[in-house]
Amino acid sequence: MGRNCGFSGVLAGLTMTVTLAACAEIGQPEPQTGVAVGRGVETRVERQARITYKEPSGSSSFGGFVVADEPSAVLIARQVLDQGGNAADAAAALYFALSVTYPAAAGLGGGGICLVRDAGERTVESLAFLARSPRGGGAVAIPGNVRGFALLQSRHGNQPWSAIVGPAERLAGTGFPLSRASARRLADAAASTQGVPAFVGADGAPLHELERVTQSELAATLTLIRSRGVTGFYAGETARALVAGAREAGGTLGLDDLSDDRPVTAPAQMLPSSAGAVAAPSEALGAGVFAAALWRDIEKASSAELAQVARRTAAALGAENAARDFGSTAFATADGQGGAVACAVTMSGPFGTGRAAPGTGIVFAPNPQQSANGIASAFLMPVIVTSNSGTQIFFSGAGAGEPKGAASILSAARSAPGGTVAEALAASPADARSPAHAISCPHGSVTGTCGFAIGPRGDGMGAVSGGSGS
């Protein structure tokens, strides 16, 4: 630990392009400490006790909203809301679906950051599950996403674990037509697709829109996650395959790295605002450092100036070469009881290392300490805006990719609780590589009056659930 994530002492050049990535690991516990997820995800008795205790007092039957980069995953998350799931359930199901349909940015080998607001709660939690460096270094990172979303759902969700992972498992096993969003990312990252043969045609080129994709190996991995919880990924046959595959890819990943790595929860950082309480990633994270600096720097910036200001802010923190494809995606959910989740995840480059663990369908993310893309996690920017009292929610959104994705979502958050969020995001520099999406509720409650703010120059989609039985 002990890293200085402030502005002083930041050196110029490539050496310091890892400064924000290093800060991103602050708050990550040493081995054998931190938040554990248990032997699976959560026992039925523990879950029932928690759900009974946390039952919200509201009577709304409205399902909620979902927004993300890839339509098939959005529809799965909406289905979870339709079946009575809350924002946390929808976010976790959305992630696992994205790991199947949008693996360039959301693979099981990556990591991310979420903000979570439980229904009835007045505070927002920051949950970091970044892909970190193994003890021995090497080329590949410790995967963080599976344990992160398992923790998010077990702490805040109300649905059975099988209902969260099962839809993604079926999608991988039975196949799906490639969406325009996924086909576009494949074409954009053609040089990185060789490690994911399911997305490559007989001619060696990436598949095109509407071509069918089946991923039997990934389906088998998701089966283990569904049936055994996090131990189906971080222990047993999958863990052994990850370790062996990492060695082949030039990594040092060990079983102890997989078993000891833990997500970290902390109170969200509250950015100064006169229009409401703006929650961002914890200041102990590189993303939190960047959020605080960027929030200040864009205060008087026009939409046309956002990208330039964001690059300048990143450079001031040591990340001078941040104009590249970081393989990141952003999404948000909100439910009718007032719960909200905003997440951003990354593979630290499209399809990460491009190397998969044989037999698993899992592509490794690169070690952030040994990759120029290690700064990717510093630009993950989930944001939730509530009233100053915390009783109302106005905004749930996230940005990712290049610094302009973070600037775009923070600029849109400045428009909450007013009704100009969609306009602000539409005028932003966000794009398919650097997405930014949000759910805007100008009246402070998650009802049919809320709307979507979908990032421009991409193929993102939002969906509305009317609630159980819709």
Q: Which of the four pLDDT bands, split at 50, 70 and 90, describes residue 339? A: very high
What is the helix (H) or strand (E) element at residue 292, kind and residue range? Answer: helix 286-297
Amino acid symbol at 235: A
Q: Which of the four pLDDT bands, split at 50, 70 and 90, describes residue 192? A: confident
Tokens of 42: 């959560």
Mean of the per-residue pLDDT values of the chain: 88
User: Which residue pairs from 27-32 have beta carbons closer than 8 angstroms and sit at least 24 positions apart in sequence?
Assistant: 27/128, 27/264, 27/266, 27/282, 27/284, 27/285, 28/128, 28/130, 28/132, 28/262, 28/264, 29/262, 29/264, 31/256, 31/260, 32/260
- Higher per-residue pLDDT: 191 or 162: 162
Average pLDDT over residues 429-444: 96
Q: Which of 102, 148, 133 lies closest to 25 in space, CA to CA?
A: 133
* CA distances (Å), origin 105, targets 85, 100, 108, 192: 25, 10, 10, 12
Give me the phi and psi of 58, to 5 degrees please: -65, 160
Q: How many CB atoms lie within 10 A of CB 209?
A: 15
- Contact between residue 256 and residue 360 where contact means Cβ atoms under 8 Å apart: no
- Contact between residue 262 and residue 34 where contact means Cβ atoms under 8 Å apart: yes
Average pLDDT over residues 406-425: 93
pLDDT single digits (tens) 92-142? 999 999 999 999 999 999 999 999 999 989 999 999 999 999 999 999 999
* CA distances (Å), origin 426, targets 162, 256, 306: 37, 45, 13
Look-up: residue for tokens 């490690």? 195
pLDDT single digits (tens) 19-44? 455 454 433 433 333 333 333 444 44
- Contact between residue 435 and residue 69 where contact means Cβ atoms under 8 Å apart: yes
- Contact between residue 344 and residue 399 where contact means Cβ atoms under 8 Å apart: yes
- Contact between residue 88 and residue 341 where contact means Cβ atoms under 8 Å apart: yes
